[in-house]
Amino acid sequence: MPLPLLPPRLGPGDTVGVIYPAGPVRDQARLEKGLQVLRNLNLRVRHYSPDQSGPEYLAADDEQRLKGFYRLWNDEEVKAVIAARGGYGCLRIIGRMNPDLLRSRPKWLIGFSDLTVLLNGISAAAGLVTLHGPMVTTLANTDPLSFQRFREALSGEFSPLAPSRDLEILRSGRGQGRLAGGNLTTLTHMVGTPWQPDLMGKILFLEDTGESLYKLDRMLTHLACCGLLNNLAGLLLGVFDPGHFDRLEILRLNEQVWNRALELTQGASYPIWGGLPVGHQQGNVVLPVGMEAVMDDITGTLSFLPRSCQTA
């Protein structure tokens, strides 16, 4: 199997396309702020607003969302496509993606949340490295570290991620494997489909928002019952927030998630870290899906290995 392909890096004046593969944008002010952030990076923005046909919880019907995606992917001037927002909808269109076409025109695909479907599905089927990171409607509120790493990733830089103050090494050890994962709810809904990620030997990262503890427990337990937590190279737990910004409640919820993850993987020896700045809060550092990474428990550093991929 060929090595995953690293899309070409972006430079000043390059074009980024904005896609709507999932839910509608209801806050136009946030969208405009995010578009301006991209322009301030000296990037051109190609942006086609959907016609909002179809159910109200989708940006447009499946046909229009697919058409918008391919319109930008097939545009030779567009070097990266970034989702406007998540929500729901990617699972409805992943089966109509053309992996050969996507690989023949490699470009960065960026997003998180519901984009977990496309990030992992396209990475596996097309052999492309994709970027789990901020979307247009979250860019303006992204913290400085996450914004810096977003900018670096677009230019092809993947420097080691130093430990944050919230990082907890829950189980020690060194882990090395390709990155996979994203939103826990979305990933769980991929189980049993043709696009279920192959997690054997992977470093799995997970995050979620607006879910109560029992639902998070149920989803983690479901992954464990399916055997998907048995043969990982490592487990990275991002931020699990209850849907608001109460720091104490977030810390309490995350500690409970950490404990459940440790219980479910008692028979495993791979490292587990908690508190990675990945999720729906302001901290959401870019993680390259499909690229090899190394978890070093001595330094608490997460390193990335671009040499594990081939350059387009």
Supply the residues annotated as catalytic.
Answer: 113, 207, 280
In whole angstroms, give the CA distance from residue 164 to residue 272: 15
CA atoms within 13 A on the CB side of 34: 25
CA atoms within 13 A on the CB side of 158: 24
Tokens for 196, please give them. Answer: 């279920």
Residue 278 and residue 205 in contact, taking contact as beta carbons nearer than 8 Å: yes
Residue linked to tokens 């729901």: 88
Residue 102 and residue 154 in contact, taking contact as beta carbons nearer than 8 Å: no
Per the DSSP assignment, residues forming a β-bridge with 81 are: 17, 109
In whole angstroms, give the CA distance from residue 126 to residue 82: 17
In whole angstroms, give the CA distance from residue 26 to residue 84: 11
β-pair type (203-209, 168-171) = unpaired
> Which stretches of the chain are assigned E, i.e. beta strand?
5-6, 15-19, 44-47, 78-83, 108-111, 130-132, 168-171, 175-183, 203-209, 234-241, 272-274, 287-289, 292-296, 301-305, 310-311
Per the DSSP assignment, residues forming a β-bridge with 181 are: 205
